[in-house]
Structures are given as C-alpha cells and as structure tokens.
Structure 1
C-alpha cells in the first residue's frame, strides 16, 4: 500500500515541524531573520580574529608548504573533524552564494521529511521559480518520493525540487526564516537568506566561512553525506518511466574534462551570473577530512572553481601538522574550555556522533529532526487507522 499525503495534511504536519524547530534553536538566532548580524560570533572581541582581516591568512611552521595562489574572491580550507581553519582569504566577505546555499536548505529541511514519503506535485508547489533556474524536471500532477526530490536538489541543483520540498515544510518564506535561524545556531553570521534555492535575490549573501560551516555540518548527517556524494541516479519521468541525472559537481564526476579528485565526498557547486562559480568541496584521505570553499574565481573560466579547490585541497593535506589554525568553524560557545575551568570530559556514551566536537546548533537541529519525524509518524499512523476504518 502506497501512503501519500494530501497537500492539506502535509502542510498541517509541517506547521508543527516549523514550530518545533523555531522553539529548539536559540531565541536570539530566530529573532533577526532579516539581515546578517553586524558583529562576528563572540562580539567585538572577535574582530581580532585573523579570519576578519583582509587578504590571505595562514600561520605556517618553518618549512611548511606555501599556500597556492588562487584567483577566487574568497576561500577557506578547514579540517572537517576539528573545525580548525588552516588558511583563508577574506573568509567573511559577504558574496552571493548561488546554489551552494542549498547546503543550508538541506540542513534545515532534511530533518522534517523522511525520504520514503510520497507527494503529488501541485501547481502551487512549482510557483515562483526564477527564470533561467536549473531544473531537474519535476512535473505537476506527478507523485514523487522525497528521496527522489533530494537527488534532484543535490545532483541536478533543481530549483523545482527545492520549491516542492519547501512547500511541504511551511512554504517559501517560512523556509527562508528557518534557514536563517539554523545558520545563526551554527554560528554562521554572514548569511542572509532571501531565496532558499540560492537564486540571485536582493540582499542574499553568504561567505566562504559560513558555507564551510554548512558543509561540515551536513557531512555529519548520513543522509546529507549520502546525497552529496551520489554521482548519478534515476529520476522519475512521465508514464512510470525514469531518466538518468548526473551530479553537476565535476570534481566528483570527472565530467567535461575536469579530473575527479581522489577521495572527494561532495559537497555542492553553484553558479549564477551575479555570484559567478561557487563550490563547497570535501575530501577524505588517510582518515582526515578537509572542507574547502571557493567563491567566484576571477581567472581561468568556468572550470577554475574546481582547479582552485583542487589546489587548496592538495595544500591542506600536504600541510597536515605544518600550520597552526587561524580560526575555527565551531562557534566559541561550542568549543571545549581549557585550563582549570574546563568542563568535565564527555563520556563515550554522551559524545556526539561524528569526528568533531558537538555544538549547541547541532543539538537544535537534531532535536528538530526527532520532532519532525515524530509528528510525521503520528500523522501516518492516524491516516492508516482512518483508512482501515473506512
């Protein structure tokens, strides 16, 4: 028996999911969805962080490999396990993110929608898609699994799939507000969400730092990590058929003459005329994972974003143990204390999953996932009982 949701049932369910998420994230984060925070995490004292200084920031040991020269307006190289930023250039410069903003969309919406749910697409679901948007081919009146729609988001960067998923979880404006709150919970203060799909919109910005935060957080979710590492998949077509789609991240697939990067595990690329080419890339080697953000290379054409990310990843692996961090992707409130006032050690049973320290923002998102899944499960059970009694 295939279980589907009516549009009204899903929207009622998702209003509860939205309420749960906004309750769980810090109130201060949800209180100002309209613009990026004027101060960095930690207040005015954080302005002394090298990550807020212009130009390339790195603290090399004697004999350390030199940071490669790249043309991107902004970039970050970080250790995904510890959150240490190994090197950066204008890390907090606010720039249009293009479809790399879909990383934040996924962090916000994935917890609320189990992949096995089915939804029949309505005209309203597909309204408001920007002209020239990348599309995976979602068709009005056809029923899709949520997992198929996520493949459309991660592989084909389908703005049509984003619109449908957003409509299932409260609508476009509500999704943007929730994304803003999740960004704040993760300590990402440079991001202003106007269009959840990353489409160019007035005032929409992020930064290489924030996008690295989103990429790192996403890799800690098994579903996000699985989707962003998928090379190709079948997407439902008309009359019960299907067609192949391929990930547009050429550093992952090796398409169009770009050599695939060994050990690459995602995350997301993007392009608009306003943002230029953007990329969040993560790779694993010898048990170590790096995450790199590259925003708007100025030289080298459309493939430069991949080659500059390649050079930065190579440097990051080569520089292991040869540089001191210039900052952290972990909010100061989530970092372990040092010295006599340090908090007690976390026991193995209580330690968060993943290869890095836990964060309050991660706890909020995990709580939202539990709440959203619980509410959806309850509605499914009630619907089954009603169907069996009819």
Structure 2
C-alpha cells in the first residue's frame, strides 16, 4: 500500500509531499499487467506429434511398455493436467457411436434442471433409427429431466436423446449446438449429424476428441453423477422398472471385472463404428481418461479389456513418460478470433472489468485474495508502475532536503 502525506516544515514555511513506500526486494522486476494470471508451468510438446500415425509415447527410464491393443485408435491422458501420456492415431476420424452422447450431454445438460418435468409428445419420438438402444420413453408420460438423463447414460436410450433434443431446439438445432460446442472445446475432428451417435453419413469423431469430451465432463458434477450411476429406477406411469448401466467396467456385467476407481463415462456400439468407449478412473491423487475406438479383435467385450490395459499402463507410467500432446492445446488463430477477453480484478468489494487483448477465448477471473491476480484499486496511484512511484519518491525527498538545508542557512 502507498501512503501519501503532506509534511510542512515550519521554519522553511514550505510544504513537501512525502511518499512513504515500503520497497520489496523484487521491485526492480517489471510489474505484471493488472489482472493477468501467472501461466502454469508446462512442458513443451510438439503440437504435430498427435497428428502422426502409429503409437506415440516418450518413455523415460523405468517406464512400462505400452500394451499391445487392437483398437484402431486410442488415447491415454491425465484428466487433471490434460497431458496425453500416449496415443495411437489420436486424430483418426472414425464413427463414434454412442460415445457421442458425451458431447450431447456437455451441450444440453446446462439448459434444464434435474427436477424439471416434461410430458412427452408423439412428435418427439419420431425419426429414431431402426435397431436403436431404447430406455422405454412413452408419449403422454411425464418424466423428470433427471430420469431422461439416466436413460441416456445408463441405457444409451436414443428415445431419451430425442426428447431432450426436442426440449433444446429440435434435432437439427441440437446437432449444430453440439458442433459449436465441440469447436469451442478445441475438438476439431468431430462432425455431428445425429446427436444420439446413430450411424449417419459423414458423422465422425476421434480418440482425441472423445478423451477431451470425457475430461470436460468430469468437471461437471451432474455429468459425473450420471455417468457413474450403475443402477436406477425408470418411471413407467404409476410404476417403475430398474435399468443398469451398459458400461461393463462400471457394473462388472457379462464376465467383465469392474475396474477399481472407475468413474464411468460412456460406451457405444454401431455397425459402422464397432465398439467405442470413453473411460475414466481415479487411483490415489491421479485421474486418467482413456478413449478406445473399434478394437479389431477379441469380440464385443474387447473394448473393455483394452481400456483396462491402457488404464493400468497409465497409472503405472505416472512420472515415467513425457507427454506427447495435450487435451488443452494452445488456442489456434481460428479459436482466438479478434475480440477481447474479460479480466476481472478485485476492487473495494466489487469487480472492476477491463478489456485486454485477446489471447484466446478464455475469461480470467481474479477476485478476493487470489495471490498475484489481485490488484489494489483503493488509492489514486494503484495503477502506477512501482518503478515510476519510486522515482517520484526520490525526487520529492531530494527537493524537500534542498529546501530544508536552504531554510537552515537562511
């Protein structure tokens, strides 16, 4: 804090402005712009590495061997940092099947509260693809939004997706919203045609994008709750029936052992996509997200065992590999645009907003006692650089000293 006071010397009959300024040791360093956060330390990663075909990994001494799996593409990433620990054909565009429902949830979940009720119209159940997985939504029945989301995550119900899409602008609008959401997250491989993940010409995603959707979903408590639910009751008018999550790593069904610490997320299957899976698990203080697309061997349950092998490897490889990519890449020119971003700083109990040059689509919020992000805006000199204030102090003191000596000589 800077304290300013006027000191009058009676003998000289003059006044000098005295700046009382505690000077920190680091004062010689240039001050950071107000409200700018200190960027986290981050290892340099070749941004083009994940574009290469084949398995990408950078082992350090003692690192375990990457398991041999048959999936056409896969990604293992740290869910906290976003670092990609290893990948194979990460950006290969493939049909996603119902793993695309993770993007659907990221897009539609915020728009309706779980307790909200909705009565289903017949028109909302038209156009469901032949052979779709269904949870049993019926026209004329009233459901809570949370029931419909259980139908999406547990039973992979395309009927529940159709109803929720109708509640959020309709089928085509939902596809556009999902496309916009994917781009806003940095998912460049995904093209949405059918929001439920049903096979459609041109509909693709990638192991990278699916891992990104999974990581983002874990940051939403509602998404996390639905995707980790094993069993639920689904209403049917005056009664209800039980539904089970079709993610075998979560439930341990069909002879697939449950994975310890599994947080769920989403599995899928269609004729064109084969089996697909986004999984996340936590062990100790580490959380991993793994995406697996279309195993080529081992039958219909191979996707779970291959995901298990990759999760095991990821936990064992902690600290023993250098990242080969990131799920939080640097903003591209396309994403950054030409606008400004909002910087929020603390000022006397209310936010003060200022426009700063855009470095991406992020907004930086620095309020309260948030270490270096807080700016003291309580005084008239709060925005001045420290070096300028120090120079002013020195000049004022020198002037006062000369006048004091002149007064004594007089």
- Band of TM-score, shorter chain: 0.7 to 0.9
SS of the aligned residue for 2:115 comes to coil
What corresponds to 2:201 in structure 1? 202
**Inter-CA distance 346–310: structure 2 relative to 1 (3 Å threshold):** farther
SS of the aligned residue for 2:331 comes to helix
Report the TM-score, using the length of structure 2 for normalisation: 0.70
Q: Distance in 2 between matches of 1:50 and 1:345?
A: 32
Give the CA deviation at 1:63: 2.0
Asked whether the equivalents of residues 186 and 331 of structure 1 are also in contact (C-alpha less than 8 Å), the reply is no
SS of the aligned residue for 1:51 comes to helix
What corresponds to 2:335 in structure 1? none
Asked whether the equivalents of residues 193 and 205 of structure 1 are also in contact (C-alpha less than 8 Å), the reply is yes
**Inter-CA distance 350–185: structure 2 relative to 1 (3 Å threshold):** farther
What corresponds to 1:130 in structure 2? 129
Q: Distance in 1 between matches of 2:227 and 2:90?
A: 23
What corresponds to 2:265 in structure 1? 267
Q: Distance in 1 between matches of 2:367 and 2:73?
A: 38
Q: Distance in 1 between matches of 2:185 and 2:280?
A: 18
Give the CA deviation at 1:287: 1.4
Residue from 238, 251, 254 that aligns with 1:253: 251
Q: Distance in 2 between matches of 1:350 and 1:49?
A: 35
Q: Please state which structure has a larger fraction of its residues in strand.
A: 2
Report the TM-score, using the length of structure 1 for normalisation: 0.74
Give the CA deviation at 1:331: 3.0
Q: Distance in 2 between matches of 1:259 and 1:322?
A: 27
Please list, as runs of the form range in 1=range in 2, the aligned pairs for 1:283-294 lying within 5 A after superposition: 283-294=281-292
Post-superposition Cα deviations, 1:15-70, rounded to whole Å, max 9, x if no partner, equal xxxxxxxxxxxxxxxxxxxxxxxxxxxxxxx9952100000000000221000000
Please list, as runs of the form range in 1=range in 2, the aligned pairs for 1:1-390 lying within 5 A after superposition: 49-238=48-237, 240-333=238-331
Unpaired segments ≥5 residues, structure 1: 1-45, 335-342, 352-390
Q: Distance in 1 between matches of 2:172 and 2:163?
A: 13
Q: Distance in 2 between matches of 1:258 and 1:306?
A: 8
Give the CA deviation at 1:237: 1.2
Q: Distance in 2 between matches of 1:344 and 1:59?
A: 33
Q: Distance in 1 between matches of 2:330 and 2:177?
A: 22
Give the CA deviation at 1:349: 6.5
Unpaired segments ≥5 residues, structure 2: 1-44, 333-362, 372-410
Q: Distance in 2 between matches of 1:173 and 1:303?
A: 33
Post-superposition Cα deviations, 1:98-135, rounded to whole Å, max 9, x if no partner, equal 00000000000001011111111001110110000000
Show structure 1 runs of 4+ deviating over 6 A: 343-351
Q: Distance in 2 between matches of 1:101 and 1:221?
A: 17
Superposition RMSD on alpha carbons, in Å? 1.9
Q: Distance in 2 between matches of 1:278 and 1:96?
A: 9
